[in-house]
Chains A and B, each alone.
Chain A
């Protein structure tokens, strides 16, 4: 009797759960449908706001509730893809609607999720008014909030925050790639600050600055001083700096560093030699093949493997021939096998 009652109770609970799940799913489906309809309805208004027919443009619509959310989402999406006057109009809308202030307040919320969300959202509202708050958010105890703030400062192309961004990377409060992307968004104004840091007495700062210059790639290549400065860093006391400088020269394709990189293939530290080999593979040139061949044949595992791959990139025919020799070693043969795949 008791067993039967238990079975019936469990069955009832199961049926109730299924019903609740159906109701929730149906309600979510209806909400999604309403949002999709609102998106279609509001898209022409959003397009008119970001790209009006005349200088004055149409007045911004006054919206509330879900419609305001949907309209905001459309503008945020446009803000990621557009610049110039369109971005200014998006910023003006969010400022006038009180959205920028609301998100600035959320940056101090107790909930970490809310702070991350606000830091991220402010970057897409295109309003420079958020820059001081985002700079403060770079000191947040949460790594995710700091990363979102750094990303948003880049999105806002806040050149005045370059030093704070670099400092966050150097002190490892924000990951290098996040800062690198932010600096890439800011573009050329970031480069002079990075160049100043190349002389920093702290090798961690020098290495971080060099890595960021490498990440900036073509934007950094516009700085005339770099071809002269980076090869000098290949002789730095710190192995991290030497390796980072080799990587940066490779990414920049700076042929001015070719001779110094060939010398670096004899560095006392294996990961520096490997970085030099990779960089020479990116820079290329027939003058480097002999030196790479020697490393590929005789060095330790990582430098030899990277040298063989670099050589395959520069002169595939040479690798195929060299791999036939009795003293070729495993790395040249591996590179040749890959070429034949």
Chain B
């Protein structure tokens, strides 16, 4: 049995191509008690998910290389990662984005502009259910 305290800390992969927002998301989630692995594009996000098999992934919809939908679909298609919950950060009031996110397999979404507290609540709600 592992006695490493770091092993008990849930890992979250957070991905956004906006460096300032990504660092703010990491800042908020780390202070809420999670270990955060950051990614700057969709490809990096998918690699991070496959490598770390996190408790949850927070993905911006619009990212270079692979968008948030593609990453979500790839996560769902892989036996090793298919059960990882995904929260998508979607643009403003685009209902179509939200619909596409659920079709891709996302568990929840947070609309941008967003409140950091709201993001934390959504993360806690999903991880609390597990």
- A residues within 8 Å of B by Cβ? 43-44, 47, 50-51, 53, 74, 77-78, 80-87, 184-185, 187, 217-219
The answer on a CB contact under 8 Å between A81 and B18 is yes
Measured between alpha carbons, how far is A269 from B94 in the docked complex, in Å? 33
A to B CB contacts below 8 Å, 20 in the list: A44-B27, A51-B27, A51-B28, A51-B117, A78-B20, A80-B113, A81-B18, A81-B20, A82-B24, A82-B115, A83-B113, A84-B118, A85-B117, A184-B92, A184-B93, A185-B92, A187-B93, A218-B94, A218-B95, A219-B93
Minimum CB–CB distance from A111 to chain B (whole Å) comes to 30
* B31 CB within 8 Å of chain A: yes
The answer on a CB contact under 8 Å between B115 and A74 is no
Measured between alpha carbons, how far is A30 from B110 in the docked complex, in Å? 39
Cβ of A53: which chain B residues have Cβ within 8 Å of it?
31
Cβ of A82: which chain B residues have Cβ within 8 Å of it?
24, 113-116
Measured between alpha carbons, how far is A191 from B24 in the docked complex, in Å? 34
What 1/0 mask marks residues of chain B from 13 to 27 whose CB sits below 8 Å from any chain A CB?
000001011011001
- Given A81-B18, A218-B95; A47-B115 close (CB under 8 Å): no
* B112 CB within 8 Å of chain A: yes
The answer on a CB contact under 8 Å between B93 and A78 is no
Cβ of A84: which chain B residues have Cβ within 8 Å of it?
115, 117-118
**What would 13 more interface pairs be, CB under 8 Å, given A81-B114, A82-B113?**
A44-B27, A51-B28, A51-B117, A53-B31, A78-B20, A81-B18, A81-B20, A81-B112, A83-B114, A84-B115, A84-B117, A87-B113, A184-B92
The answer on a CB contact under 8 Å between B113 and A81 is yes
What 1/0 mask marks residues of chain B from 116 to 130 whose CB sits below 8 Å from any chain A CB?
111000000000000
- Given A77-B20, A184-B92, A187-B93; A86-B115 close (CB under 8 Å): yes
- B residues within 8 Å of A by Cβ? 18, 20-21, 23-24, 27-28, 31, 92-96, 112-118
Minimum CB–CB distance from A180 to chain B (whole Å) comes to 12
Minimum CB–CB distance from A222 to chain B (whole Å) comes to 10
- Given A82-B115, A86-B115; A47-B93 close (CB under 8 Å): no
Minimum CB–CB distance from A35 to chain B (whole Å) comes to 14
Partner of B20, one of A74, A83, A85, A187: A74
The answer on a CB contact under 8 Å between A83 and B115 is yes
Measured between alpha carbons, how far is A80 from B91 in the docked complex, in Å? 12
Measured between alpha carbons, how far is A47 from B24 in the docked complex, in Å? 6
Measured between alpha carbons, how far is A43 from B27 in the docked complex, in Å? 11
Closest to B18 in A: A81
Measured between alpha carbons, how far is A266 from B28 in the docked complex, in Å? 59
Measured between alpha carbons, how far is A85 from B117 in the docked complex, in Å? 9
Cβ of A44: which chain B residues have Cβ within 8 Å of it?
27
The answer on a CB contact under 8 Å between A86 and B23 is no
The answer on a CB contact under 8 Å between B113 and A51 is no
Measured between alpha carbons, how far is A340 from B6 in the docked complex, in Å? 56
Closest to B16 in A: A81
Partner of A43, one of B20, B28, B116, B118: B20
Minimum CB–CB distance from A44 to chain B (whole Å) comes to 8
Measured between alpha carbons, how far is A185 from B91 in the docked complex, in Å? 12
Interface centre among B23, B31, B94, B113 (most CB of A within 10 A): B113
The answer on a CB contact under 8 Å between B21 and A81 is yes
Pairs A-B, 3 closest by C-beta atoms: A84-B115, A83-B113, A51-B116
